[in-house]
Copies of this chain bind each other. A is one copy, B any other.
């Protein structure tokens, strides 16, 4: 069923000569199907078709776009076990995770279908005329959100379904009325191809203009660069590393016509534990966090990479217990040898810093591509003095910062770069005195979790998945939930329009 070809509109195309394979990290071997990298001509063709499709798609009724999104969800489910086995063979993740992520993916598609089925989401705003106002009459002005144009989507390595081909960026852009060109992630090109074909099938079936979706294979950086620089692309969605996201941001900003880039990038997701919480339930918190640190082999953007607390015997005990419990969890495979190599290197670099002390690391034998879960610790003063300790170590790794006192703890939080999340573990007795902690943390993050774990991003109206740079490239938007559609729309005003030419929603 997998052809390794690019999907350009409804055509499968493989004009290039460069091929690559995906990799099974559990078997530690390449998968057999080769994928053909898109050529410059194929990239241009996909964008040109997206531009043409935009002419019809931008003003298509919401019900029709909703039907398209639901058909995508159905077609993804219709892929059945083929999708699950392909997903697992390209990630080393278990079938349960694939199924869960598939559920989230089709759930998102259906959520956006519900959202755009009627035009209320387009924020219709009506200011009626006041002809006799002095000194000047007031005109009739009515405003609606409209789509900005074709969007380029770069999928994430760590979520082959929910943040990739038909993930949140694609679903929200298609819902908004923007055609999508996906740069397929090379680590899960097969999953991408299957899902891409499901989208094309759904598009055909529901009568969408050809070019509303294309999927381009790419193992290097050229396809992505060409996409971001193409005058036909009007916005970019990206999930991945700071380096990758920033490179695309810079490219987009340097265009003759700069375009918005929403890049969801790195985060170490600080967790603050109060003395009272450590005293009351340090052991329970250690168990919870050993699980959160190692969940999905630590390969979540909301992984808790930094735990901050003030010095004391309760903290010492907690650190030891957290280390032991984390090190005791059965090692698992990472997504790809490259990711595994980067993890080992980054973790080692942190441990080689004089200021850090190893607390515990997984001691069992490691199969190929399995990660050694690790907990280290550092003093607040040393953390403040050494910015290289603020970097994300992508994987099952966490650092506990021991602060001398509360002022130093606030200073540590204030020193952090922008984060997707912050977490506060506290007791009721703390609430009355924690205003400045909440304020300081709020100013650095997009979401604060109280007495929970940052891993797990609920798809709902009130979710903010984003935050000050570098958590995301534009903190004014969220990448998850209904409101992520706002990334791809702009307000437009109709002034003194005759009723006959106004959209229904502005003509109540």
Known: A449-B496, A474-B260. A141 touches B458 (CB 8 A): yes
Per the 8 Å Cβ criterion, residues 438-465 of A in contact with B are: 438-439, 442-443, 445-452, 456, 458, 460-464
CB–CB B464/A496 < 8 A: no
Per the 8 Å Cβ criterion, residues 106-163 of A in contact with B are: 125-127, 135-136, 138-139, 141-143, 146, 148-149
A494 at the interface (CB under 8 A from B): yes
CB–CB A492/B127 < 8 A: no
How many angstroms between the C-alpha atoms of A476 and B493 in the bound complex?
12
Looking at the assembled complex, report how far the CB atom of A303 sits from the nearest CB atom of chain B, in whole angstroms: 16
Query: Which residues of B sit under 8 angstroms from A126, Cβ to Cβ?
Result: 462
CB–CB A125/B498 < 8 A: no
Known: A492-B447, A501-B434. A59 touches B439 (CB 8 A): yes
Per the 8 Å Cβ criterion, residues 50-72 of A in contact with B are: 55, 58-59
CB–CB B446/A490 < 8 A: yes
The stretch of A38-46, A188-196, A250-258, A312-320 in contact with B is A250-258
Query: Which residues of B sit under 8 angstroms from A142, Cβ to Cβ?
Result: 462
Q: Which of A149, A417, A447, A495 has the most CB of B within 10 A?
A: A495
CB–CB B139/A461 < 8 A: no
Taking a contact as CB atoms closer than 8 A, the residue among B55, B462, B468, B498 that contacts A141 in the complex is B462
Taking a contact as CB atoms closer than 8 A, the residue among B148, B418, B431 that contacts A476 in the complex is B148
Known: A462-B142, A475-B148. A451 touches B493 (CB 8 A): no
CB–CB B452/A478 < 8 A: no
CB–CB A491/B496 < 8 A: no
Per the 8 Å Cβ criterion, residues 61-120 of A in contact with B are: 100
CB–CB A489/B461 < 8 A: no
How many angstroms between the C-alpha atoms of A98 and B192 in the bound complex?
60
CB–CB B260/A460 < 8 A: no
Query: Which residues of B sit under 8 angstroms from A468, Cβ to Cβ?
Result: 148, 257, 490
Per the 8 Å Cβ criterion, residues 409-455 of A in contact with B are: 417-418, 428, 431-432, 434, 438-439, 442-443, 445-452
Residue of B nearest to A482 (CB): B125
Known: A148-B475, A260-B476, A434-B501. A127 touches B458 (CB 8 A): yes
Q: Using a CB–CB distance below 8 Å, which chain A residues touch chain B?
A: 55, 58-59, 100, 125-127, 135-136, 138-139, 141-143, 146, 148-149, 249-250, 253-254, 257-260, 417-418, 428, 431-432, 434, 438-439, 442-443, 445-452, 456, 458, 460-464, 466-470, 473-478, 483, 486-487, 489-498, 500-501
Q: Which 3 A-B pairs have the closest CB atoms?
A: A253-B253, A143-B462, A464-B493
